[in-house]
């Protein structure tokens, strides 16, 4: 199990606290420092069953600068979104937990983190 975190994020810290309380075996990836490649983002999206716009933090300043809210949300612009996430990892929703069964979840709630633990 791997968890992508931003240490400044309260949701990430809560997820880590819960994983520790449950004795989970996991690896931490500080994705702002160890930035995922476009291919890694594609893999995680596949595991999540989501599209890149589903995990984009559109309220971030850089998202507003890029104008992502106006980008098409379709197959034709999918790579544009992925490239933006790789170039500006602050846009990636967090925390993302890859589960043992090959799936992943965005662990923004205790329920989602427990779901990842159960997989």
Question: Which helix (H) or strand (E) segment is 17 a member of?
Answer: helix 10-21
Which pair of tokens denotes residue 106? 């965005």
- C-beta separation of 68 from 78 below 8 A: no
E strand spans, the chain? 2-5, 27-30, 96-98, 104-106
Active site residue 9: yes
Among residues 1, 2, 9, 13, the one annotated as catalytic is 9
Q: Describe the strand order of the beta sheet including 27-30 as a list of residue ranges.
A: 27-30, 2-5, 96-98, 104-106
> Which of the residues are catalytic?
9
């Amino acid at each position: 199990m791997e968890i992508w975190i931003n240490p400044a994020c309260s949701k990430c810290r809560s997820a880590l606290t819960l994983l520790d309380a449950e004795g989970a075996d996991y690896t931490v990836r500080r994705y702002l420092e160890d930035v995922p490649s476009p291919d890694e983002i594609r893999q995680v999206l596949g595991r999540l069953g989501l599209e890149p716009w589903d995990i984009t933090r559109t309220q971030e300043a850089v998202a507003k600068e890029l104008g992502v809210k106006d980008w098409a949300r379709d197959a034709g612009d999918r790579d544009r979104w992925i490239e933006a996430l790789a170039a500006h990892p602050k846009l990636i929703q967090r925390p993302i937990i890859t589960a043992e069964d090959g799936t992943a979840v965005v662990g923004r709630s205790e329920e989602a983190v427990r779901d990842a633990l159960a997989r």
